[in-house]
Chain A
Amino acid sequence: MSRTARLLLFGVGAAGFGVVLLYGLAGLPAFGHYQGVYGRVLDGIGVTERHATDLVTALNFDFRAFDTLGEEFILFASVLGVVLILRQLRDEHERPNQEEADEHQLAGASDALRALALVLVPSLLAVGVYIVVHGQITPGGGFQGGVILATGPLAVFLAGRYLRMRIIAPHTVVEIGDAVGAIGYGLVGLGGLVFVGIFFKNFLPLGIPGHLLSAGQIDVASTAVGLEVSGAFLVAWSEFLDQAILVRGPGDR
């Protein structure tokens, strides 16, 4: 296709898109004037019926917990895809001298960076755990806390010690964490089915709003998702790191 034809096609497309966009924008409610009924209803019952002060987490892990089940398995399946695509092929091999990969390959890590990583690892882990278990009280929850948790071991890699990172977060352990988190979330739903008769209906005591152990299933579901998400991210990162740092094709000696 010639340049003129392409520009012409783009012009027609952009004009059409512009018209539809302006038409849509003109029909929007004024800024700050929310008109959803469902949202208003939920806004009123988060604390009274679920004892959760963070409505977003209550939505994710209670009111719409079934949707989160789908989202969680999207993440699970995509990480499986990464593992499948980045597996070691027949004519690839891991670099034989592993000491080399540990100490010299990533020699760019300065002392300052290592010191920073030393501070980062425990603080990231602490913040991650805090955000996971306080999901029902303050902003955050399983997903947010899970990703922060996963960055903890990654900071070890930042210090230039990839193979140490593999010791702290071995493939088997992060894979099991990923799977156990995914199963755990499903079990929370099954618990509702078994004890109350409805899939993902809360079956745990609600406790006092604002307390660490409150809001019934939300805390448990949030922890399961936190485990799954941190496992999933670590599995994906490890696969990428293996490929970039350790695995060599047949042409390399």
Chain B
Amino acid sequence: MTVLQIAALAAVALLGGGVVAATDPLRQTLVLGIYGLALTMMFFVFQAPDVALSEIVVSTVGLPVMILLALRKIRQYEKERRNEHEEQG
């Protein structure tokens, strides 16, 4: 195993823990994107460029877009609920 491969594995392990440790969903999404980049590097240094190409787009654009939009929708929904509550009370 080369130094690069060990470094990539370590980065994946650290950032994987980081995703779990991040509590705020918004920050978690950003850490998830960086974790995806680490996975991409890992696939690349383990000579799987095909997988790395899929991973880089899906993990840094595809998935975060969906999560961020869902978070935005939830926030809107909560705001509407709060407004209704104030109108009634």
Interface residues of A, Cβ cutoff 8 Å to B: 31-32, 54, 56-57, 131, 139-141, 143-144, 147-148, 151, 154, 233, 236-237, 240-241, 243-244, 249, 251-252
* Contact of B80 with A252 in the complex, beta carbons under 8 Å: yes
* Contact of B50 with A140 in the complex, beta carbons under 8 Å: yes
* Residues of chain B lying within 8 A (CB to CB) of residue A252: 76, 80
Whether B62 is near chain A, meaning CB under 8 Å from some CB there, is: yes
Also in contact, A56 and B50, with CB within 8 A (given A251-B84, A252-B80): yes
* Residues of chain A lying within 8 A (CB to CB) of residue B1: 31-32
Dominant SS among interface residues on chain A: helix
* Contact of B49 with A139 in the complex, beta carbons under 8 Å: yes
* Contact of A139 with B80 in the complex, beta carbons under 8 Å: no
In whole angstroms, what is the CA distance A237 to B67 when docked?
10
A sample of 5 more A-B contacts (CB under 8 A), given A57-B50, A236-B66, is A56-B48, A139-B49, A154-B65, A240-B70, A249-B77
Interface string of B37-49 (1 = CB under 8 A from A): 0000000000011
* Contact of B69 with A144 in the complex, beta carbons under 8 Å: no
Contact partner of B54 (CB less than 8 A), chosen from A54, A143, A237, is: A143
Whether B53 is near chain A, meaning CB under 8 Å from some CB there, is: yes
* Residues of chain B lying within 8 A (CB to CB) of residue A249: 77, 80
Q: How large is the interface on B (under 10, 10 to 19, 20 to 34, 35 or more residues)?
A: 20 to 34
* Contact of B50 with A151 in the complex, beta carbons under 8 Å: no
Dominant SS among interface residues on chain B: helix
Interface residues of B, Cβ cutoff 8 Å to A: 1, 48-50, 52-54, 57-58, 61-62, 65-66, 69-70, 72-73, 76-77, 80-81, 83-84
In whole angstroms, what is the CA distance A147 to B57 when docked?
7
Also in contact, A233 and B62, with CB within 8 A (given A144-B57, A244-B73, A251-B83): yes
Contact partner of A151 (CB less than 8 A), chosen from B49, B61, B69, is: B61
* Residues of chain A lying within 8 A (CB to CB) of residue B81: 251
* Residues of chain B lying within 8 A (CB to CB) of residue A151: 57, 61
* Contact of B53 with A140 in the complex, beta carbons under 8 Å: yes
In whole angstroms, what is the CA distance A147 to B52 when docked?
13
* Contact of B53 with A139 in the complex, beta carbons under 8 Å: yes
Contact partner of A240 (CB less than 8 A), chosen from B49, B53, B65, is: B65
**B41: shortest Cβ distance to chain A, in Å?**
15
